[in-house]
Amino acid sequence: MPLQKLSALIDAICNLVICNDSSLRSQPIIFNPDFFVEKLRHEKPEVFTELVVSNITRLIDLPGAELAQLMGEEDPKLPGANSTASGFFRSLMSLKRKEKGVVFGSPLTEEGIAQVSQLIEYLHKNLRAEGLFRVPGNSIRQQMLKDALNSGTDIDLDSGEFHSNDVATLLKMFLGELPEPLLTHKHFHAHLKIADLTLFDEKGNKTSTPDKERQIEALQLLFLILPAPNRSLLKLLLDLLYQTAKKQDKNKMSAHNLALMFAPHILWPRNVTANDLQENITKLNNGVTFMIKHSQKLFKAPAYIRECARLHYLGSRAHTSKDDLDLLTSPGSKELQPLKSQKRGRLDSCHQEETQQRTEAALRELFRHVHNMPDSAKKKKLIRQFNKHPSALTPGSEAATPPAPRRTRSRSFSGLIKRKVLGTPVIVERKSRDTTPEPKRASKENIHLLQKCGSPAHTSQAKLKSLEGRKEDSCRRMRAHLLSKDSSSL
């Protein structure tokens, strides 16, 4: 093992052992806020769909048949499905699909999105063309470009051979030839209900003012259960239309004008006419206008969906709706916070102990490896590296057992008399039993210094001296008293 790598490994392990920053050991850093949402969507699609649909029904009222269509349990019932005109369009579209190529007229795939994304990237560079998506291009150039995309040929759109109107018209043609609209037939009735979401007045009556916050939330949820290819292309398309509308002073194409161009391709059901939709045309066009204006917010999962997905994988109880998460912030739930924090603290301490044990075992193994190396400058350097981290536990520095507490000397008066009478033999016997060497006697200067500092040991010595002095005085007085009695008797 090279010296630099081994030295870096020692530093890393030692720093981990002595690290006391709990925030570094709390949770993995997730850069994608929708990481657990995407994980749940791919690994458990049924659980994910049930979670999202339950929150959609909280926002919009879907009867049983429309809910079953949204869940894919029933075939969508669309307007004009039983008319004679729809039968004609259906047969016409079936004839077109018999001649379908790799991209145009085929169900949406990742390969098709990769081909069409070339058109979207080119249009991002040419957003200033007046009447973009409204002015038709050259049909011959469009057919050439369509054949090239179907065959998978590399296309150099920047060569000047094609005009931006050719590319914009071909993009609309691709969307119009999909077997179903980009937002799918299953979601048709849900979009009509989202358009009806309005604010309420103080008396609880509905107004004509759209409830933008609820509409954004409902669209976020609805986009989460779109098929993955549809969701990817829809994000690319709405971003392109959003950027196009920002340049409306140059291209004369506002968000509403763009919605009129694209609503029939991405939202209207296939094989229907304007007469079949009747009053719903305005709702659908306004819905697409709303999507273009707020496209930068629609492809983020709501915060409570993120939390539900995160709790699902962390082993906690998953909250099924926004209302469940709101309950956590209610006053009654604050009483449970200390218990939850104590439980989390116990779990964190157990986890930290296990991590500490594994780390110390790895560190001991590494130390043995270094210790068994032949004597050399490299070995000395590595050992010095270990010595820089005294907090790390190594085989050579095992934690010493704490010394047994020494029995304190008795401060009672009887003990004092015993030590005074027996004195030297007891001290000698205690010194012989004690294995630890006695510290050296302090000099007079040190004793004087301790007196100034107020040492407890010196204070106890002073008390002993004062007691001894009192005892000697009492003995002298007793002796004098006895002598006086003897003399008087004589």
- Range among 87-91, 245-249, 278-282 with highest mean pLDDT value: 245-249
Where would I find the beta strands (DSSP E) of 268-318? none
Q: How confident is the model at residue 202 (pLDDT cuts 50, 70, 90)?
A: confident
> Three-state DSSP class for 206?
strand
> Quick check: 217 and 322 in contact, CB under 8 A?
no
Tens digits of residue pLDDT in 296-312: 999 999 999 999 999 99
pLDDT surpassing 70 at residue 453: no
| 3-state SS class at 159 | helix
- Tell me the CATH number at 206: 1.10.555.10
Residue 63 within a domain: yes
End-to-end CA distance of the chain: 103
Which phi and psi angles does 206 have, rounded to 5°?
-70, 140
Q: Calculate what percentage of the chain has a pLDDT beyond 90.
A: 37
Question: Cβ(83)–Cβ(74) under 8 Å?
Answer: no
Q: Please report the pLDDT score of residue 482 as a whole number.
A: 61
Q: At residue 426, does pLDDT exceed 80?
A: no
Least confident of 63-72, 77-86, 115-124, 328-337: 328-337
Per-residue model confidence as pLDDT tens digits over 78-97? 776 554 444 444 444 444 44
pLDDT at 131: 92
- Domain count across the chain: 1
Enclosing domain of residue 275? 45-78+102-303
- 152 in a domain, yes or no? yes
Flag whether 180 is in a domain.
Answer: yes
Buried b (16+ CB within 10 A) or exposed e, 174-189: bbbbbeebbbbbbbbb
The confidence score (pLDDT) of residue 79 equals: 75
- Tokens matching residue 315: 């082993």
Query: Looking at the domain assignment, is residue 265 inside a domain?
Result: yes
Backbone angles phi, psi at 101, to 5 degrees: -100, -160
Question: Does the residue 486 lie in any domain?
Answer: no
DSSP code per residue over 29-62: --SSTTHHHHHHHHH-HHHHHHHHHHHHHHHS--
Residue 288 burial (10 A CB sphere; 0-12, 13-18, 19+) = buried
When pLDDT is cut at 50, 70 and 90, the band that residue 399 belongs to is very low
User: pLDDT (tens digit, 9 = 90+) per residue, 355-380?
Assistant: 677 677 777 777 777 777 777 777 77
Q: Are 261 and 134 in contact (CB under 8 A)?
A: yes
* Whether the predicted pLDDT of 455 surpasses 90: no
Token pair 């920053």: residue: 21
Does residue 490 surpass a pLDDT of 70?
A: no
Q: Whole-angstrom Cα distance, residue 428 to residue 437? A: 13
What pLDDT sits at residue 325? 55
Cβ(18)–Cβ(286) below 8 Å: no
- Please enumerate in sequence order all residues whose Cβ is within 8 A of that of 269, keeping only pairs 6 or more positions apart, or say none: 76, 78, 79, 80, 181, 185, 188
pTM over 0.85: no
40 domain residue, yes or no:
no
- Model confidence pLDDT, tens digit, residues 64-77: 888 888 887 788 77
Residue 57 has a pLDDT of 92
Rounded distance between C-alpha atoms, residue 168 and residue 121, angstroms: 11
Summary mean pLDDT of the chain: 74
- Whether 74 is covered by a domain: the verdict is yes
The top-scoring range by mean pLDDT among 218-222, 314-318, 349-353, 440-444 is 218-222
Q: With 80 as the cut, is the pLDDT of residue 47 above it?
A: yes
Between CA 408 and CA 401 the distance in angstroms is 20
Residue 467 maps to a domain: no
> Where does the pLDDT of residue 270 fall: very low under 50, low under 70, confident under 90, or very high at 90 and above?
confident
Confidence class of residue 4 from pLDDT cuts 50, 70 and 90?
Answer: low
Report d(CA 11, CA 5) in Å as an integer.
10
- Percent of the residues in the chain that have a pLDDT greater than 70, as a whole number: 60
